[in-house]
Amino acid sequence: MIAAADLARAKAWYADKLGFQPAQEFEDIVANYKSGGSSFSVYKTDYAGTAKNTVAIWRFQGVRPEVERLKERGVVFEDYDFGPEGKTVDGVLSDEQGNVIAWFKDSEGNILGLTEDQGELAG
């Protein structure tokens, strides 16, 4: 679940920037979305944007082209310096293990991310 202080603003942002339309809505409280074989919800709360961690991440074959596509739609990617673990370059982190990750914030200040699909998840 992804928090939103202003649900109407968040729904507009997810539609305009990410291309998502609600699959189901409950008054002005929550909007449910489908994404690939999964789903997520955006709900109204006064605590939106307070998490300092990534609240949702999407996996892609080819993160860099997706970053460029989203930049064209007005998404602003974050730059982070993780010290010895690396830092983002043009909004994208690539590490020695082959991980490729990019982070951005939604209209509510939530940190969202994209990661390179490395095949089946371990575990």
Six token digits for residue 49: 């944007």
Instruction: Give me the CATH code for the 2-116 domain, please.
Output: 3.10.180.10
Is the entire prediction scored with pTM above 0.85? yes
Q: Is pLDDT at 122 greater than 60 in this prediction? A: no
pLDDT digits (tens, 9 = 90+) for 4-44: 999 999 999 999 999 999 999 998 899 999 988 899 999 99
DSSP β-ladder status, 54-60 and 111-116 = parallel
The full set of domain ranges for the chain reads 2-116
Burial 65-75 (b: 16+ CB within 10 A, else e): ebbeebeeeeb
Please report the pLDDT score of residue 120 as a whole number.
57
Whole-number Å distance between alpha carbons of 15 and 22: 9
Instruction: Give yes or no for a contact between 88 and 94, defined as CB atoms under 8 angstroms apart.
Output: no
Burial 81-115 (b: 16+ CB within 10 A, else e): eeeeeeebeebbbbeeeeebbbbbbbbbebbbbbb
